[in-house]
Amino acid sequence: MRRALWLLMLVSLAKAETGREAWLRYRAIPTPLPSVVVRFGDEPEVIAAAKEVSRALEGFSGKAPLSRQSLVDNSVVLATARSLTNHLPGVSSLTDLEAGGYWLGTSTVKGKRVSFISGSDSAGVLHGAFAWIRHVAAGENVARLNEKSDPAAPIRWVNEWDNLDGTIERGYGGRSIFFENNNVVADLTRGGEYARLLSSVGINGCTVNNVNANPRALTSEFLPQIARIAEVFRPWGVKLSLSVDFASPKTIGGLDTFDPEDGRVVEWWKAKADEIYRLIPDFAGFVLKADSEGRAGPATYGRTHAQAANLLARALKPHGGVLVYRGFVYDHHADWRDLKKDRARAAYDNFQPLNGQFDDNVLVQVKYGPIDFQAREPVSPLIGALSKTNQTLELQITQEYTGQQRHLCYLAPMWKQVLDFDLRVGNERTPVNEIVAGKTFRRPLGGFVGVANVGRDENWLGHDLAMANLYAFGRLAWQPSLSAEEIAQEWTRQSFGNDKRVVSAITGLELDSWRVYEGYTGPLGLGTLTDILRGHYGPGIESAERNGWGQWIRADHEGIGMDRTVATGTGFIGQYPREVAHMYESLRECPDELVLFMHHLPYTYVLHSGKTIVQDVYDSHYQAAEAAQQFAIRWKALEGLIDEATFARVMNRLDYQAGHAIVWRDAICSWLLKESGIPDSKGRAGHFPGRTEAESMTLSGYTVKDVTPWEDASGGKAVTCEAPNQKCTASFTFAGTPGLYDIVVQYFDVNDGEARFQLNVGDRVLRAWIANDHFPTKALNGDSSTRVTLRKVRLKTNEIIKVESSPDGNDPGALDYVEVMPSR
């Protein structure tokens, strides 16, 4: 028996963690806990909550608790406020809780020790259950709990940009958990598990399909399939909503128009809403992206966004649904020659004049910044201007412009800056989080939406540490006053346990990561400086310029930055309330971190930091790339303290990030050096100690190729091995002194074939590998540039270092450089 137990324990210890449990891991906790779960009430959410508490207690204590429907000693009781008062009059009066709110408490009732999890409604009981579990998991003493908590706002949703064919727009965690082949997947287990995760952080709505909506989503054939998703969401208190195509009355409805003022169109939307509510009685509503990036919209008929929004809102209204109208509307064919044109102005210019014209069940969903989810942007001025309109703030959990879950980038510190930013509307304290929640302007509705894009990867987002972003979004939507650090700690404790070393190391990494990412990508408010025309991933600085997309940085040999001042620029700054506008307009007050978003300045301009722009960029990029090297080292120190499989997955990503941070650093610094002609006072930019360019090695079989953009390859060039069934070699003689060295092979891994590589020193084969990662490109550029690092290699003077590669498919086994540096 003993033996069997031991074996069982060993097996469970050895079980590789996949990340699928996310932060709901329920590992053993050395605390006395209730042994009975008592449930009053039969609502699906209360049943789910009681089951969850049982599941958690079993994990924490190693023993399944008993379930009861009457009061017993040492129990935890779950009930809505109303049924609690019915069953145990006098225990508590929770009349002042808001929808979804909860109360956690303890007391002795008729000699029985009881913990209470109660909610204003059944969803509140669920939220309370997960909050209670969170406290236990963090090792707190729940016997002393007395906590009352209300959500900050009624709308706390995620949007998924899932396409019906199973792909996900800007998704980096695998294919859709909802769709495949233009149908809803047969097995919705992951959909249910996802709703549970969302519920655990208080998220109460999920829009399951891409805002670039396929009209099929609304067809009578498809809707019953959508209803199946709503069913797996329901016990978790997560309501389903759909993105819709504004032209639907025409594309799928058989009408010859989709004019919002046409009576037939009005009727069509009404009938469609009725049909949906017959199938999904708790349907949350529609999300609409109209007249944006090629989507159909009211402009076709000369109608306004308000007319379009109200049309759909009125169809939903009798059923209690809401219409979320995306504020992300701008002209993507803007004339870049026109110095007064400015995409940043678009949201405000389009929606501010309509303030007050939207129905009460419409929310305008505003992206946090005026451009598009960049690593840093000022807060959108539209937020302060919608005083008579409900809003939701749109944040992005999926890291489209922030490293696509290959880079660690914990976004809560950035979101906090947005949420806490005081727009000074009417010269008064008006922080963004209070405005969007509906508090400042006393709106009936408001809230927070996170674009999540989880996928079928076992760990949901592709990077185990990126789950902190999903967690943080939910926590902040519930309680914006939480700090990024508190949230990181909570998440780490639940995900990785309470070992102090683990908590402090992982929290530290998370907290440092956004500034580090920003530090080696786009500086001083310029935007991420990624390739905006393609993958939005690696460096692609000038892709922002000279096209209609309007992400211009206006760089030339003299200076850089968009002049958005009222005095001489586009006037964007004038969209802010007076005090904020004054701060941005004045160079004396404008913070360095946004100065090139607001102003066009010479490279030699001296910042508040005391450095010139050019030197600041060199310094920040070298510092941040070094910090990214340290991430991998900091993580390495956790080996043995967390489970092996998770350790290895994250190690892999952080090693890659360390290399890619150098690709970014070199691209930005080389480009700036060339553009400005001003050298780095510390002599780093353009000088690469220990580096030998592939194009200057002794080559056999390789062809020298220009890389576009040039700054994405060291020296602007790579060598490719194009002849099929051939092996190419590039070699050079190591001229340093004998000793231990780290060798980096920087090569390109395109998403179109799997070339083979090998590194030799003398007659030793040091490493052979296959370029089989899946970067978002088929081209040689900063998306595909990656590396292999060999540490502590003993080298002798005059040894020959040789890289070999053989192409596969369209992957030409391209090599950028080899770097040999003394081991650190």
Site for ligand GCW in 170-209 (CB under 6 A): 170
User: Does 169 sit near ligand GCW (CB under 6 A)?
Assistant: yes
User: Does 161 sit near ligand GCW (CB under 6 A)?
Assistant: yes
By the 10 Å C-beta count (0-12 exposed, 13-18 middle, 19+ buried), 219 is classed as middle
How far does CA 392 lie from the centroid of its chain? 17
Q: Is the dihedral of CA 373, 156, 492, 21 positive or negative?
A: negative
Site for ligand GCW in 388-447 (CB under 6 A): 400
Q: State the maximum Cα–Cα separation within the chain, in Å, rounded to a whole number.
A: 88
Residue 423 to residue 150: CA distance in whole angstroms: 25
Question: 119: which strand partners?
Answer: 80, 102
Residue 593 to residue 607: CA distance in whole angstroms: 10
Site for ligand GCW in 695-714 (CB under 6 A): none
Report the residue number, 170 or 456, with the smaller CB distance to ligand GCW. 170
Do the beta carbons of residue 297 and residue 337 sit within 8 Å? no
User: What Cα–Cα distance (Å) separates residue 570 from each residue in 344, 540, 567?
Assistant: 9, 25, 9
User: Does 599 sit near ligand GCW (CB under 6 A)?
Assistant: no
Q: How far is the CB of 503 from ligand GCW (least distance, A)?
A: 34
> Which contacts qualify for 215-220: CB closer than 8 Å, 24 or more apart?
215/245, 215/247, 215/248, 215/251, 215/252, 216/164, 216/182, 216/252, 217/164, 217/242, 217/243, 217/244, 217/245, 218/242, 218/244, 218/245, 218/248, 218/252, 218/272, 219/252, 220/275
Q: How far is the CB of 747 from ligand GCW (least distance, A)?
A: 28
Q: How far is the CB of 295 from ligand GCW (least distance, A)?
A: 8
Active site residue 335: no
Give how many residues touch ligand GCW by CB under 6 A: 10
Q: Which listed residue (291, 400, 666, 749) is catalytic?
A: 400
Q: Which listed residue (42, 274, 293, 556) is catalytic?
A: 293
Report the residue number, 372 or 563, with the smaller CB distance to ligand GCW. 372
Do the beta carbons of residue 755 and residue 770 sit within 8 Å? yes
Residue 167 to residue 174: CA distance in whole angstroms: 8
| Contact code string over 50-69 relative to ligand GCW, x by CB under 6 A | --------------------
Strands (E), 756-823: 756-761, 764-770, 785-795, 800-806, 815-822
Report the residue number, 169 or 485, with the smaller CB distance to ligand GCW. 169
- Tell me which residue has tokens 């967390």: 642
Q: How far is the CB of 161 from ligand GCW (least distance, A)?
A: 5
| Contact code string over 282-301 relative to ligand GCW, x by CB under 6 A | -------x------------
Report the residue number, 122 or 241, with the smaller CB distance to ligand GCW. 241
Report the residue number, 329 or 669, with the smaller CB distance to ligand GCW. 329
Site for ligand GCW in 110-139 (CB under 6 A): none
Active site residue 593: no
User: Does 547 sit near ligand GCW (CB under 6 A)?
Assistant: no
User: Does 376 sit near ligand GCW (CB under 6 A)?
Assistant: no
User: Does 212 sit near ligand GCW (CB under 6 A)?
Assistant: yes
Do the beta carbons of residue 286 and residue 241 sit within 8 Å? yes
Q: How far is the CB of 172 from ligand GCW (least distance, A)?
A: 12
| Contact code string over 355-374 relative to ligand GCW, x by CB under 6 A | -----------------xx-
Report the residue number, 169 or 331, with the smaller CB distance to ligand GCW. 169
Question: 419: which strand partners?
Answer: none
Do the beta carbons of residue 765 and residue 796 sit within 8 Å? no
Shortest-Cβ-distance residue relative to ligand GCW: 372
User: Does 236 sit near ligand GCW (CB under 6 A)?
Assistant: no
User: Does 534 sit near ligand GCW (CB under 6 A)?
Assistant: no
Report the residue number, 129 or 541, with the smaller CB distance to ligand GCW. 541
Report the residue number, 480 or 527, with the smaller CB distance to ligand GCW. 527
How far does CA 169 lie from the centroid of its chain? 13
Find the angle CA(655)-CA(660)-CA(662) to the nearest 5 degrees: 105
Q: Which listed residue (372, 457, 675, 695) is catalytic?
A: 372
Do the beta carbons of residue 532 and residue 540 sit within 8 Å? yes
What 3-state DSSP class applies to 468? Answer: helix
Structure tokens at 563: 């002049």
Q: How far is the CB of 401 from ligand GCW (least distance, A)?
A: 8
Residue 812 to residue 216: CA distance in whole angstroms: 40
Instruction: Report cis status (omega within 30 of 0) of the bond before 709.
Output: yes
Q: How far is the CB of 326 from ligand GCW (least distance, A)?
A: 7
Interface pick for ligand GCW out of 78, 91, 123, 211 (rule CB under 6 A): 211
Q: How far is the CB of 744 from ligand GCW (least distance, A)?
A: 32
User: Which residues in this chain contact ligand GCW in the complex, by CB under 6 A?
Assistant: 161, 169-170, 211-212, 289, 328, 372-373, 400
Active site residues: 293, 372, 400
